[in-house]
């Protein structure tokens, strides 16, 4: 009864304006601290999923070579935006069946092509679709097994495959990528870092500047786009 009478008399203590401002300021500070942390955690999760996707592609590369006399799939088109998707030996058609998936051509034909944010080994979860005809946010090293070579490159022909890039985060409209000032250059979309699959199956992330994203190949010793095969003769054109 005493509590009831106390409340009826309007004697409930209230915050002063200064106290309210202090609470608001503390809340804003906590939000400013927590939101970036959550964003970083979310991007870390996306980068981890991207790394997992690339590892699966690395397994598919190895399986393909084992079944094709040590040869690699073709890179698809080079500096052009991807439009021809009907060649079975291009990586995006040749590798998926080895992972129990349909070739990219078949997915497109059935109006089931992978889209941005989809749970698919084709899709980096951080990638956005720029709206071209086809969307492949991973792309093969443009200098690895190009179509103008008379025969597909053998893994054993590649010099130091553990340092040669096989697949990389890419813009989306291209099936092949190479460090360049042009639009097909690899994309450092993971907080300024780009994920790379090397020909031996390992996956690593590097700062975009280190790789030469948007600039050109800096010819690093541990991140190589040249292969030591005849394809190197045309690499200066990329």
User: In this predicted model, what pLDDT tens digit does every residue of 210-236 receive, in sequence order?
Assistant: 999 999 999 999 999 999 999 999 999
Top-confidence residue, 22 or 185: 185
For Cα atoms 22, 27, 30, give the angle at the middle one, nearest 5 degrees: 125
Q: Token pair of 232, please?
A: 């190197």
Average pLDDT of the residues in 181-207: 97
The beta-carbon contacts of 123-126 under 8 Å, at least 24 apart in sequence, are 123/53, 124/46, 124/49, 124/50, 124/53, 124/169, 124/189, 124/195, 125/46, 125/49, 125/50, 126/43, 126/46, 126/47, 126/50, 126/189, 126/190
The distance from CA 222 to its chain's CA centroid, rounded to whole angstroms, is 19
User: In this predicted model, what pLDDT tens digit does every residue of 132-188 receive, in sequence order?
Assistant: 999 999 999 999 999 999 999 999 999 999 999 999 999 999 999 999 999 999 999
State the average pLDDT for the chain: 90
Using the structure block, give the residue that is written with the tokens 């998707």: 85
Q: Which of 69, 83, 20, 58 is nearest to 141 (CA)?
A: 58
Residue 190 has pLDDT above 70, yes or no: yes
The residue length of the chain stands at: 238
**Do residues 125 and 46 touch, judged by C-beta distance below 8 A?**
yes
For Cα atoms 57, 108, 131, give the angle at the middle one, nearest 5 degrees: 90
């Amino acid at each position: 009864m005493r509590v009831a009478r106390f409340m009826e008399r309007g004697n409930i203590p209230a915050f002063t304006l200064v106290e309210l401002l202090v609470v608001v300021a503390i809340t804003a500070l906590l939000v400013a601290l927590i939101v970036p942390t959550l964003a970083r955690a979310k991007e870390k999760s996306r980068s981890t999923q991207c790394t997992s996707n690339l590892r699966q592609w690395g397994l598919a590369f190895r399986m393909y070579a084992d079944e094709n006399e040590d040869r690699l799939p073709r890179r698809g088109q080079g500096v052009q935006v991807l439009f021809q998707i009907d060649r079975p030996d291009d990586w995006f058609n040749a590798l998926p069946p080895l992972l129990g998936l349909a070739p990219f051509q078949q997915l497109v034909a059935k109006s089931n092509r992978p889209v941005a944010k989809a749970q698919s080994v084709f899709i980096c979860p951080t990638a956005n679709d720029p709206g071209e005809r086809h969307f492949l946010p991973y792309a093969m090293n443009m200098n690895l097994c190009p179509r103008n070579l008379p025969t597909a490159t053998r893994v054993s022909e590649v010099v130091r495959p553990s340092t040669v890039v096989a697949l990389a985060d890419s813009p989306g409209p291209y099936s092949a990528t190479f460090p360049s000032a042009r639009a097909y250059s690899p994309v450092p979309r993971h907080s300024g870092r780009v994920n790379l699959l090397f020909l031996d199956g390992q996956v690593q992330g590097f700062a975009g500047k280190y790789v030469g994203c948007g600039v050109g190949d800096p010819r690093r010793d541990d991140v190589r786009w040249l292969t030591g095969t005849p394809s190197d003769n045309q690499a200066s054109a990329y």
